[in-house]
Amino acid sequence: MTTPPLRLSISVNAEQTLVLQGELDAHSAPALAAKLGELDAARTMKLDMSALDFIDSSGLRVIIEADQRARQASGSLVLLEPSRAVSRVLDLSGLGSMLDIV
């Protein structure tokens, strides 16, 4: 039996921002990790999260690791417009004050 389809789509817009749509969980987190790994950590990586309906700790892990890579390379990771559901999880995990969120 094939694995269920990923519920996350990742696209890159004209400003080189990664636009996330759907749900970021243990199933889809590796795909985001792979995409983030392709980016230059020494630059500003932007994640548009306005269309992300769901995130759990698996998604948080990928974001934290990317944030750490960016800081170590003197770059930055910026989260753009997280939805209500995502903001709640960021705040509950204590990451709301640690990550760069606009």
Partner 1 sequence: MFADSDAGGSATVSFGSDVGDVGRCRDVVGEFLTRHDAGLDAYEDLRLVVSELVSNAVQHGDAPGGTVTVVAEPDRFVIEVSGAESIPDPAALIAPTPTQPSGRGLILVHAVADEVTFVTADAGDRRIRCIRYR
Residues 72-101 that bind partner 1 (CB under 8 A): 84-85, 88-89, 92-95, 98
Binding string, 31-50, against partner 1, x = CB under 8 A? --------------------
- Give Cα 27 distance to the centre of its chain: 14
Element (H, E) at 50: strand 44-55
What is the Cα–Cα distance from 87 to 51, expressed in whole angstroms?
A: 12
Which residues here bind partner 1, judged by CB under 8 A?
Answer: 1, 3-7, 23, 25-27, 54, 56-58, 60-61, 64-65, 68, 84-85, 88-89, 92-95, 98
